[in-house]
Structure 1
Amino acid sequence: MNLSRKLFLGFIGIALLGIILFGYITYQTALETRSEELTKSTTDNAMQLASILEGSDPARVRQLLRNFQTRQQVLPYNLFIVDRQQAIIFNTLPNEIVAELTPPLLASDANHGHANLKETSLVWSSQSIPNSELTLYLLRQTEKSGFIPFLKHSGLPLVIASLILLWLAIWCAMFLSSLYRRLDQQRRELEFQKRHDSLTGLSNRNSLVEQTELRLERSLPKGECIALLIIDIKRLKEINDTLGHYAGDALLCLIAERLNSVIRENDILARIVSNEFAILLDRISEESVVATTTRIQETLSDGYEIEGHEFYLGASIGVALYPEHALDAINLIRHGEMAMYAAKRIGADITIYDETHKTSTLEQLKLVSDLRTDLENKNIQLYFQPKVNLDNGQAVSLEALARWEHPDHGYIATSRFIHIAENTGLINQLTYWVMEQALKCSQQLQQQGQSLNVAINLSMWNLQDLELVEYLQSLIDKYNVEPSRITLEITETAMMVNHKRALHTLHRLHELGIVLSIDDFGTGYSSMTYLKQLPLGEVKIDKSFIKSMHKQPDDSSMVRAIIDLAHDLGLTVVGEGVESREIAEMLRELGCDQGQGSYYADAMPFEALLGWLERFNQPTRE
């Protein structure tokens, strides 16, 4: 029986007890009142009768009382009269009753009271007859219990009052029971909110810590462990910034559903931060941890559709094991987070914790802060790598590449700091800076008579930027650069976030006259789809095919097929990773239009590029 029902029944029980107590008190009060009334009435009658008998001798008393009794036929009371010697001179009671009553009444110092017989209860009053030596005792009979008269006079009002009290008690009990249920529901809701995420309904960080501690207290079978997975969902912030938090929230709920579908019933799924989830795999072998983590990664990589937009998200997963990596919940979670940050830093899908991640995480935080500072202070450098026409050997285009020289760590790998910029929302600021510097250098080259195209790389998040096209148009007007001299390079992953918006942005750029290029072509599953959908002008074959084409016939065939397909679609073809004359010649024979790689030149600062162009762009190159 729940507390609400107990409260209801208890209140009704108290009400019934109150009714009984009320009835008893009322009954006792009625008895006392009736007794007082009878006593007073008897006393008054005794005084009246004594007044009538004033000054009478015993004989006259007997005569008067017999006459009075004859006229009244039935007296409403009984009486007896005694003289100074307490001898009875007149009596209306049976002799046996008088014999039983007389001794206690005559011995009493009171002038009124109650006397109880076996079947009768009497109220008596004594009164001395004035101017006489006689004493009058008047007795009035009443029912012993008085309950029947009480019911006759007070029963109906008492029943009505009891019913009203009972109705009020039931109403109050129902009100209090309902109030308790509401308060209890609010308490449960507050308790749930304290331990769960309000959006997805999953456990929160506090609940995860508590449940993890409970699991760690149990002994583990040999060969099993407890694994904690920290999952960071990539690109969620940019989706919030692009489509709003409603779309981001809907996406988080879909992610929670997918994760729930992968784990076992005894595992724990929690949302610990805005875009981070945690999964506790209980009593599992290390081999199963790897298999489960891989399955989670595959599940998350499938497309999501929100508000008519299709998204492809990635995830960085950090893994920490008990008892290998930590012996308590707090450190297990902390080490899982360190492993996750390490996975983000190196671009890995899954990383298992090791001790080096402690220092790596601190280093990562400092790099984020330093990158922000250097972007604001314009301490990033811009390098250029030429693209060469394979037919005449002349440089025809330059790819602008950002370089970051850290004061403590030297040059940071481009993939690493670009990854940092994408994950911290700095990518648009970085891209805007690269665009302006590249077009500024292009203007200087034009002024020196060098008609070279300039290529700029775009991140997938740049294509979600609503101000990108207008900003680029303002730079074109500012530096007076022909839009056809600008190439914007995108990778296949650029279309994985809000495909429709990315496609719209690319079409607007194409309408400006800008050349669009697919970078690293051939490495993604949707390469052919992009050739059909996007307004492209150029294709860059990934260097993984180019480097080994002189050794691997399959790669050479793949390169030939890409070149032929691109030419059939009217696209310019660029081969990346040209590191030798042999590869350059093979590409030229296959019909490739341009080559780019260390055989011609590595990326270099603008000042070094000017000298290189003077040496390289001669009428012929041996």
Structure 2
Amino acid sequence: MPGFLIGGNAMLRLPSSQISRESADPRFRDRGAGLAPAVIIVGLLALSAAVVYGTGGTSQAYPHVVYVPIVMAAAYYGGIGALASALLAGFVVLGPLMPLNTLTGESQPVEGWLFRTVFLVAVAGTVAVLIKQIRSEKGAKLFAESHNASSRLPNWSELQNQIDGFLRGSGLRKPHALLAIEANNLEQIAYTLGGSVVDQLPALMYEQVRAILPRSHSVYHGRSNRLAVLLPTEEMAVPEAVSKAITAFRRPVRLDDIPVYLDVTVGSADIETESKTAHEAMRQVNLALETAKHQARRHVHYRRENDTSSRRNLTLLGQVPAAISADQFQLFYQPKVDLETREVVGAEALIRWMHPEHGLLSPGHFMPQIENTALIDDITAWVVETAWRQLRSWRMAGIGIELAVNVSPRNLLNTGLVPSLKRLFDQDGDAAALFEVEITESAVIADAQKTVRQLHEIRELGAQIALDDFGTGYTSLRYLTELPLDKLKIDQSFVRRLQQRNAEASVVNAVIQLGQELGLTLIAEGIEEEGIRGHLMHLGCHQGQGFYFSKPVPPATLQGMLGRPLPVHTAAS
């Protein structure tokens, strides 16, 4: 009988492959199949007859031995089996043919063996009902332990059992891969439609998946917004399955009669005997999924080299608090150069980690992991205070250049950022005008209203605001008028190909014109040659950064570059 998932107003049919796997599980199926138990039951009835006859007939206590085959019949064949066994015991084994007393040959009275038969039938029925109830409760408990309560799909524990069976050689016989599919916009949907409606989402996600994958696949429900798929790769390769899954989710699902589009990310991993355990295989696919999410990619397949890097990054993350206390972090400064005069007019503070084992580490080795934890507040606080001290030091030396620091989306959602900046700016109000806070487009997307409010408060303290990596995110153009911006930074991905592709040149030209109309200072990132500098200057861009001018350098080196035009040959250094 086909199974159904019922959630809210949705009734969803489970595929036969999913149901057949569960019905084949000995924990859920009825054990009353096969002839072997029947042969044993008949043998026990015959043995009971021999015991009763040999011990003197039905007048003795030994007739009670017939309860054993009756209980066994109820256990293996349910009510019908128990009834048949009771009737056989009552009419044949202990019926009129069995003497009341074998020594005298006295027969049983009719009412005696009839009453006994009725009693045995009653006992058989009671035992059958009790066994059915016990089995039902046990089955329900096992089902609850191995299935998700809302979607009624097998859960992570059941997936682990399946993979362990495969790795031991007793389960899956063919090559399989594991896919993890996660809906990234679950919270947004929950805020809009409510949590009770979102409970239907995994079942609806399952419907999208089962329609495009092989019948022999199995789907498991882990987290509220994550499904896992056990995929036979001989029937469908991973790239094909992922492509079909992503395409399937381009169609909306209906929640509360509202078409909802799911933004999904997929991680995948091959299940190999080298994985040793199901836990390891599941860790690998989860790592691939988290890597895809972090890199803003639709799909990432697990690679061992990525795993090694991830383990090192995780180790580094645990060392951050001690590294702050031990002053292992340093700030390097990349010059911002006036494109016309070639003079350094500002700098961007960039963090480096002087690690005692790994040497000087760039932000790419540790900042992505830090940004996903509360440690980002500690790191940003350190960067802001260190940069502020450097800015004031330069001012006291008569150097009045602007200095920018990067602030993450998480920092902007922290109510402690503005008070900490105010505390610093109260020390030197004039220096605040030279202090610049750089944000990325993702910071605006995270919580637009709160971000705009926070930035206005920072702007009111006297600092400047710059929008970094413009053109790579999804910022609505209206935010350019709502945000209190002073500067707009053109992303290096457009700048580096400025003279190679007309499309990039058109984008850069449009951004520059837009910035000029809004009265913003325009800064181009990633300048690596003289021709690009000249092209940008001709288009009207004001400032630039890049290795053509200088890589990030210590503060003393930057100080030596001030007060004079940078030579053209700096590109070769």
TM range (shorter): 0.5 to 0.7
- Give, in angstroms, the shift of residue 575 of structure 1: 0.9
Residues of 1 paired with 2:227 and 2:554: CA distance? 43
The within-5 A match list for 1:482-561 is 482-526=431-475, 528-561=477-510
Residues of 2 paired with 1:395 and 1:303: CA distance? 52
Residues of 1 paired with 2:272 and 2:466: CA distance? 48
Seen in structure 2, the aligned counterparts of structure 1 residues 511 and 270 have a Cα distance that, compared at 3 Å, is farther
Q: Deviations over 1:92-133 (max 9, x none)?
A: xxxxxxxxxxxxxxxxxxxxxxxxxxxxxxxxxxxxxxxxxx
Are the equivalent residues in 2 in contact too, given 1:318–1:352 (CA < 8 A)? Answer: yes
Residues of 2 paired with 1:582 and 1:550: CA distance? 8
Amino acid across the alignment from 1:432: A
Are the equivalent residues in 1 in contact too, given 2:549–2:566 (CA < 8 A)? Answer: no
Contiguous gaps of at least 5 residues in structure 2: 1-29, 33-73, 87-121
Residues of 1 paired with 2:365 and 2:194: CA distance? 29
Q: Deviations over 1:334-366 (max 9, x none)?
A: 543565576678776544344445644543332
2:489 alignment partner, SS class: strand
Seen in structure 2, the aligned counterparts of structure 1 residues 508 and 268 have a Cα distance that, compared at 3 Å, is farther
Aligned to 1:262: 209
Aligned to 1:410: 359
Q: Deviations over 1:564-616 (max 9, x none)?
A: 11111222211111223332222222111111122222111223222222555
- The one of 554, 560, 568 aligned to 1:605: 554
Matched, 1:192 2:143: yes
- The one of 431, 435, 455 aligned to 2:404: 455
The within-5 A match list for 1:330-479 is 332-337=281-286, 339=288, 350-357=299-306, 359-478=308-427
Give the TM-score taking structure 1 as reference length. 0.59
Amino acid across the alignment from 1:368: L
- Give, in angstroms, the shift of residue 429 of structure 1: 1.8
* Matched residue count: 452
Aligned to 1:206: 157
Amino acid across the alignment from 1:278: A
Amino acid across the alignment from 2:217: D
Identity of aligned residues (%): 29
Residues of 2 paired with 1:311 and 1:372: CA distance? 40
Residues of 2 paired with 1:556 and 1:329: CA distance? 51
Residues of 2 paired with 1:200 and 1:427: CA distance? 36
Residues of 1 paired with 2:269 and 2:420: CA distance? 42
| Mean CA deviation greater in 401-410 or 504-513 | 504-513
The within-5 A match list for 1:43-82 is none
Amino acid across the alignment from 1:194: E
Are the equivalent residues in 2 in contact too, given 1:546–1:575 (CA < 8 A)? Answer: yes
Residues of 2 paired with 1:611 and 1:382: CA distance? 17
Choose 1 or 2 for highest CA Rg. Answer: 1
Aligned to 1:281: 231
1:423 alignment partner, SS class: coil
Residues of 2 paired with 1:464 and 1:302: CA distance? 33
Aligned to 2:177: 227
Seen in structure 2, the aligned counterparts of structure 1 residues 398 and 501 have a Cα distance that, compared at 3 Å, is same
Residues of 1 paired with 2:366 and 2:239: CA distance? 28
Are the equivalent residues in 2 in contact too, given 1:230–1:279 (CA < 8 A)? Answer: yes
Aligned to 1:320: 270
Amino acid across the alignment from 1:319: A
| Mean CA deviation greater in 198-207 or 344-353 | 344-353
1:509 alignment partner, SS class: helix
Residues of 2 paired with 1:598 and 1:206: CA distance? 52
Seen in structure 2, the aligned counterparts of structure 1 residues 352 and 255 have a Cα distance that, compared at 3 Å, is same
| Mean CA deviation greater in 420-429 or 590-599 | 420-429
2:446 alignment partner, SS class: coil
Are the equivalent residues in 2 in contact too, given 1:230–1:278 (CA < 8 A)? Answer: yes
- Name the Cα RMSD after superposition: 5.1
Residues of 1 paired with 2:380 and 2:547: CA distance? 24
Are the equivalent residues in 1 in contact too, given 2:202–2:227 (CA < 8 A)? Answer: no
Give the TM-score taking structure 2 as reference length. 0.63
Matched, 1:293 2:242: yes
Contiguous gaps of at least 5 residues in structure 1: 15-168
1:613 alignment partner, SS class: coil
